[in-house]
Chain A
Amino acid sequence: MPTRNTFVFGIGGTGARIVRSLTMLLAAGTKLNDTNKIIPIIIDVDADNADTSRALAALKTYKYIRSHGYSNTEEIRDGFFNANLNTLSSITNENDYSEGLDDSFQLQFENLEKSFIEYLDPRGELVGDINMDLLEALYDNSSHDDPNTELNLKLNQGFKGNPNIGSVVFNNLSNTKEFKFVLKSIGENDRIFIVSSIFGGTGSSGFPQLVKLLQQEEKLRGNKYGALTVMPYFNVTDDSKSAINSDMFNSKTEAALSYYLKYLNGKINCFYQLWDRPLKQYENKQGGIEQKNSAHLIELIGATAIIDFVNKPDGNFASKGQTQYFDFGIKKEDQVIDIRHFYPNTAKTVMEPLTLLTYAMKVYLETIPDMRNEAFFKELDLGDKIPNNAFYQNLTAFLSIHYKNWLVEMSGNERTFQPFNLTQDLNALVREKPIEVKKVLGIVTKPGISEAFLKTELGKLEDELKKSIPDQDKRFFKLLNRISMECYKKLEALPSMI
C-alpha cells in the first residue's frame, strides 16, 4: 500500500477552478502511481466566490461517492473515483494533532471581514502617524470613500488583482490552525503542489508566500515541490467601477515572473507554466457569488500538470536546488479542440478516462432510468434507490451538475474544448469518431451501442458481478465502470489526427 500523500494547494479563483478540473479527471479514473491520498486545500479569502464554492461542492460529492462506492477493505487501483481525494482532517488517524479541524477542503483565514486598513490597524492607532503616511505612499487611498482603492478594499471579497495586499495577508496564513496542522502532517516522502494564477491578486501573492512559509520549516525543505502558474488566458470587460483591469494582466505577469525567477528558482522541483492567447472576455465580476467563470481547457490542462507531478518517479526529478520547467503543447493550433489534438500520452492517461466517464454519465442519466422492467434494474433496486438513496443522489448530482456542466462550459468557452457530442446518441458521442452502424437491405446488422446492446451487457455484467459484490450500491458502481468499458470497446480507439 503506497504511503505517499500529495498536498495540492489551489490558491484563488484559478486555483479553485483547476482543482475542480482535477476532481473531474480523478472522477474519470485517471490513475495515480504510488499515491495514498491527494489532499486538495483551497485557499481563497473570497469566502463567497462561486468558482471556489463549485470546486468545494464537487470535492465533497467526490469524497462521498468514493467512500460509498467502494468497500473499506478493498485496494482500489482503477475505475471511476479511484483516487483517494480527501480532506486534511482525513489524516487524523495517522496523527493526533488535528483536534478542532473542520472536515473541509478549504483553508480558512480569520479576521477578514474588514477593509485592508482596518486589518493593518484594527484600533485606528495609526491615524496621523508617520506609518500611515508610509502606508498611503505604498497603497492607493486616493479617494477615502471609494471601496475599490487599495487601503479600503474589503478583504473577504478577495484581493481583486492586488498582490501587494495579498502578500501582507498571506503572511498571517501561518497563524491558522489548519496551516499549523498542514506543517505537522506533511511527511518526508509527501509531495507538495501549488496551483495559482499569476495575473490576479490572491494566487500571485499567495504562491510565493506559501512556498516561503512551508520552507521555513526545516523538515519540509527536502520534500518534492511542484507548482503550476497560470498566465493570462482570459480578459475581463472594462469597468471603471471595478478594481480588476485586464490591461494590467501582462504587466503583473511580467513583474511576478521576475520575482519568481529571483526568489523561487531552485526551491520548486517542477515548475509548470500555462498560457493561452486570451480569446474570451469574461464579465468583470470582482468576486463573490457573481464570480463564476466557465470552465476552460487551460484549467483541464492545468490539472494534467498535477497528475504528471504526482506520477513522476522519484528518480525523474532534477537534483536538489534545481528547477525543471514544463510547458504543455497540443498537436495543432485550432479554435475548437478535441481529443485528436492531444499527444498519445495525454490521450491515454486523461482523454480515455474522460471518454469512459462520459459514456457512464450518458448511460446512467439517460438510458438506465428507462430500463425499469429489466432484471438488473430490479436486482439492484434502482427504482427506489435512484430517487431516494443518498449515494445515488450524490452520483446523479456529480454527473449531471458537476461533470456535465464542466464539459458544457468548456465546449462553450474560447478556446473551445469539445471532445464529445453530448446531445447526440452514444454512437456519435465521441467527436470525429462515430461508431459505424451497418445496415443490409434496410435491416441493421451492426447497431453499435444500441439499447438492446446496453440491456444485454448490463444484464450479463450484473449477473457476473453479483457473485463477487453482494452490496447493491457497490455492485452498481462497478457495473457503471464495466458498461462504459463495453461501450469503449465498440469505439475501438480514440480519434487521432491523420
Chain B
Amino acid sequence: MFEFLYELLCGQNPDPIFASDIYPFVGLFTLVFAFVFTLVFYIVLGRSKPIWDKTIHWVITMIILLIIAFGFAYNHAQTVTEEEENSFFYTFAMVNTLYAFIYYILFSILLKRFSIFAKRTPF
C-alpha cells in the first residue's frame, strides 16, 4: 500500500530498496505517529484538562508531527541507502510530510468526537 502511495507522487525509484524497505517502514511509522499525535491531542490531553485544546495547539502539534515526518523520512532514506545526498530524498520527505498531514486531518475527524475539550478543534 505504501509503495503505491509514495510512487504515486514521487515516481518510481530505480533502487528496489525503497519499495522493499524504506516505503513500508516510513509509511507505517508516519501513520502510527500521526495516530499517536491525534490520540494524545484529542483523547489524552483533550479529555483531562483544557490546557492544550485550541486551534493554535492543534496547529503546533501538527507542525511538530510534520517536522518529524519529514526528518524521519529523509534520515531513514539516507541511513538505508547509505548515501549522503540525493534529490529524491528531499522529494520523498516532502511527500511523506504531505501524507502525515493527510493522516493527521483524517485521524482528527475520526477522534475529535471522543474528546471533551477539543471536540470543536479545529472545526
In the assembled complex, how far is the CB of residue A351 from the closest CB belonging to chain B, in whole angstroms? 32
Q: Per-position contact with B for A433-471: 1 when CB-CB < 8 Å, else 0?
A: 000000000000000000010011001100100000000
Whether A374 sits at the interface, judged by CB under 8 Å, is yes
| Least CB distance, B31 to chain A, in whole angstroms | 27
| Residues of the A chain whose Cβ atoms lie less than 8 Å from the Cβ of B51 | 452
| Max chain A C-beta neighbours (<10 A), residue from B49, B54, B117 | B117
- Whether B50 pairs with A463 at a CB distance below 8 angstroms is no
Contact of A460 among B54, B116, B121 (CB under 8 A): B116
Alpha-carbon separation in the docked complex, A375 to B46 (Å): 10
**Number of chain B interface residues as a range:** 10 to 19
Contacts A373-B54, A375-B115 given; indicate if A456 touches B120 (C-beta within 8 A).
no
Q: Is the interface of B mostly helix, strand, loop or mixed?
A: loop
Q: How far is the CA of A463 from the CA of B121 in the complex (A)?
A: 15
A375 pairs with B116, CB closer than 8 A: yes
> Which A355-389 residues have C-beta < 8 A from chain B?
373-375, 378-379
Q: Which chain A residues in 368-416 approach chain B with CB under 8 Å?
A: 373-375, 378-379
Closest to A462 in B: B116
Which of A373, A375, A378 has the most B CB atoms < 10 Å from its CB?
A: A375
Q: Contact at A375–B53, with CB atoms within 8 Å?
A: yes
Which residue of A has the minimal Cβ distance to B121? A375
A379 to B115 Cα, complex, angstroms: 12
Residues of B within 8 A of A452 (CB): 49-51
CA distance A459 to B116 in the complex (A): 6
Residues of B within 8 A of A378 (CB): 120
The distance from the CB of B44 to the nearest CB of chain A, in whole angstroms, is 15
A sample of 7 more A-B contacts (CB under 8 A), given A375-B117, A459-B50, is: A373-B54, A375-B50, A375-B120, A375-B121, A379-B120, A452-B49, A460-B116
Please provide the chain A residues from 114 to 137 with a CB less than 8 Å away from any CB of chain B in the complex. none
- Shortest CB-to-CB span from B83 to chain A, Å, is 48
Q: Which residues of B contact A (CB under 8 A)?
A: 49-51, 53-54, 115-121
Q: Which residues of A contact B49 (CB under 8 A)?
A: 452, 456
CA distance A374 to B119 in the complex (A): 9
Number of A residues, CB within 8 Å of B: 11
Residues of A within 8 A of B54 (CB): 373
* Pick from B50, B115, B118, B119: contact of A456, CB under 8 Å: B50
**A455 to B115 CA separation, bound complex (whole angstroms):** 14
**B-facing residues in A81-136 (Cβ within 8 Å):** none
Tell me the complex Cα distance, A220–B7, Å: 92
A452 to B54 alpha-carbon distance, docked (Å):
14
The reply to whether B117 and A459 contact each other, CB–CB distance below 8 Å, is yes
What separation, in Å, do the CA atoms of A456 and B48 have in the docked complex? 8
Within 8 A of B (CB), among A13-62: none
Q: How far is the CB of B7 from chain A (nearest CB, A)?
A: 40
Residues of chain B contacted by A379 (CB below 8 angstroms): 119-120
Q: Which of B51, B120, B121 has the most CB of A within 10 A?
A: B120
Report the separation of the CA atoms of residues A426 and B117 in the bound assembly, to the nearest whole angstrom: 23
The answer to whether A374 and B116 have CB atoms under 8 Å apart is no
CA of A452 to CA of B53, assembled, Å:
13
CB distance from B55 to the nearest CB of A (A): 9
**Distance, CA A463 to CA B53, complexed state (A):** 15
Residues of B within 8 A of A373 (CB): 54
CA gap between A375 and B120 in the complex, in Å = 6
Per the bound structure, the CA–CA distance linking A250 and B117 in Å amounts to 62
Give the distance in Å from the alpha carbon of A463 to the alpha carbon of B120 in the complex: 12
Max chain B CB contacts within 10 Å: which of A373, A378, A379? A373
Nearest residue, chain B, Cβ from A371: B50
Q: Which residues of B contact A459 (CB under 8 A)?
A: 50, 116-117
Chain B residues within 8 Å of A460, by CB: 116
Q: A455 CB to closest chain B CB, in angstroms? A: 5
Residues on A with beta carbons closer than 8 Å to the beta carbon of B119: 375, 379, 463
Q: Can you list 8 contacts pairing A with B, beta carbon distance less than 8 Å? A: A374-B50, A375-B115, A375-B118, A375-B119, A375-B121, A456-B117, A459-B116, A463-B116
Q: Output the least CB separation between B43 and chain A (Å).
A: 12
Q: In the assembly, what is the distance between CA of A455 and CA of B121, in Å?
A: 16
